[in-house]
Amino acid sequence: MLLWLPVALYVPAITYNQVTGTSIHVITPIVCIICTFYTCVGGLKAVIWTDVIQSFVMYGSILAVCIKGTYDVGGLGVVLQRNEDSGRINAPEWTWDPTVRLSMVSVIVGGTLHKIQSSDVNQVSIQRFLSLPSYKHAKQCMFLYTVLLIFLLSCCSYMGLVTYAVYQDCDPISTGLAKASDQLPSLLMMRTLGSFPGLPGLFVAGVFSAALSSLSTGLNSMACVISQDVVRPLLKKPLTERQTALLLRAIVVFFGLSCMGLVNVVEKLGMVLQLATTTSAVSMGPLLGIYAMGVCLPWVNAKSVMTGSLVSFVALGWICIKGQLAQMQGEIRYPKMPVSVSGCDYAYDNATVWRTLHEYSPSTDRNIYHLSFFWYTALGGLICTVVALLASLVFGWQDVSEMDPALVTPCMRRFLPKKQYEAVDLEELFRRKAEKP
């Protein structure tokens, strides 16, 4: 989580920088202080309510850009035709080669495992599910979240098509108008909505809303985990309610300031989407393995799981760090789609454009560091599971004779020792456990 939060803080900073010219290092402290303040004061309730309001702003801003951008280029047919002519709408590459950066297999298999971990298993999601009044409400929440997430990602993908349709004959990256691809949405927004008072601000507010939502949620979740799982077991007597509140706020402030400093590192590490997936996968991979063994392989004991998760974390961290360093040094260069500057109506450096268009060539070597970022979480979960099973040969197996079958996935309960069980649904099970002294 600490690796991922600076990425969420960096996104609105580059957007605001592109729109106003204000330095990233001026924006990030302001955003971080505001987010840390309302997270400390309001707690989970404030985080959830601000998330709801920010979601409306986020969806409204991206829809405004997509609709106005489509209208400016001549309609949906023009957007699709321009992208199809340039090869950006083509048949998917079905390959199991894990070094292909974006194949259909990596997106469907690797991306699905990544979203299962990030949406269902991590602390942020679990904390929200537990705040709901019943299991039924949790299922409804998950269904609504999935539908809205698919819609949001579809809008983001379509905005990429609109961006190319607008800049098909004048690539901003080649001319130096944009320093990185992460700045293209801001350029598109200023071109399509810049003449309408207030709409550029709506887009910036949408980006800030998404970032603040992620940052506040992460800070709140980390504070709860550290206070309950790290600090509380070390204390001889429980903290009072006031002491607990002060501890949670201190943790939020500490990690908020830490994220502010780590933005300087994030700025030099590459594309935001790939960076967010990479940094989060370092911990998500082991967590996916832990969860999978918890519900599917109850025979693996705690020592074996801990061994597997540590090995997975170190191995995945090594691959991710080496891969990012190789990209920064130009050792890993991915193929790029063709672009043009023939229609540019502003001055640019011809020598720079020539080097950008004609001297770039993708790398041909393939090794473990070329692994697609979509496979990171799956690889981490696999390493964790395999190492834990091997470690069980040393540490022994867990006694499952007294294990509650409700904690194991239904398809694996047949392998547990046969007992006479009473059929109880999950809501009744939770109610009974809550009534126990």
Q: Say yes or no: 245 and 318 in one domain.
A: no
| Higher-confidence position of 396 and 407 | 396
Tally of domains within the chain: 3
How many other β-carbons are positioned within 10 Å of the β-carbon of residue 164?
A: 19
Longest dimension (CA), the chain: 80
Burial class for 282, CB neighbours closer than 10 Å (0-12, 13-18, 19+): buried
Q: Which sign does the torsion angle of CA 46, 138, 255, 185 carry?
A: negative
CA 279 to chain centre: 9
pLDDT in tens, 176-235: 777 777 778 878 888 887 777 777 777 777 777 777 777 777 777 778 778 877 788 787
pLDDT tier at 437, thresholds 50, 70, 90: low
**Domain membership of residue 307 as a residue range:** 270-398
**Looking at the structure, do residues 258 and 283 belong to the same domain, yes or no?**
no
Q: Identify the bridge partners of residue 397 per DSSP, sorted by sequence position.
A: 300
Segment 342-348 mean pLDDT: 79
Query: Do 326 and 199 fall into the same domain?
Result: no
pLDDT digits (tens, 9 = 90+) for 26-57: 877 887 787 777 677 766 676 777 778 778 87
Strands (DSSP E) contained in 315-411 are none
| pLDDT above 90 for 342 | no
SS3 47: helix
Whether 386 and 418 map to the same domain: the answer is no
CA distances from residue 256 to 118, 123, 186, 188, 274 in whole angstroms, order as listed: 21, 18, 26, 31, 23
Average pLDDT on 129-146 reads 85
Q: What would the two tokens of residue 208 be?
A: 């800030």
- Which helix (H) or strand (E) segment holds residue 8: the answer is helix 5-20
Considering the domain architecture, whether residues 63 and 164 belong to the same structural domain is answered as yes
Pair (312, 414) in one structural domain: no
User: Residues 6 or more apart from 16 whose CB is under 8 A from it?
Assistant: 22, 27, 204, 207, 208
Residue 39 · residue 47 · CB < 8 Å: yes
| Sign of the CA dihedral with 233 first, then 235, 240, and 246 last | negative
Last residue of a domain, one of 207, 236, 268: 268
Residues 264 and 282 in one domain: no
In a domain, 39, yes or no: yes
Q: Is residue 91 part of a domain?
A: no
The reply to whether 80 and 215 lie within a common domain is yes
3-class DSSP state of 75: coil
Cα separation, 126 vs 234, whole angstroms: 24
pLDDT at 266 over 80: no
Considering only residues 360 and 244, tell me which one the structure prediction assigns the higher pLDDT.
244
Look up residue 418 and give its DSSP letter: P
Closest CA to 70 of 187, 193, 198: 193
DSSP state of 348: -
Please indicate, yes or no, whether residues 70 and 143 belong to a single structural domain of this protein: yes
pLDDT at 427: 67
| pLDDT at site 162 | 92
Q: What is the pTM of this model?
A: 0.74
Q: Are residues 252 and 287 in the same domain?
A: no
Residues 8 and 148 in one domain: yes
Q: Are residues 41 and 158 in the same domain?
A: yes
Provide the pLDDT for residue 85.
86
Average pLDDT of the chain to the nearest whole number: 79
**Helices 135-166, 123-130: inter-axial angle, 10-degree rounding:** 130
Give, rounded to a whole angstrom, the gap between the first and last alpha carbons of the chain.
Answer: 34
Q: Considering 268, 285, 305, which residue would you say is the last residue of a domain?
A: 268
Check pLDDT > 90 for residue 388.
Answer: yes
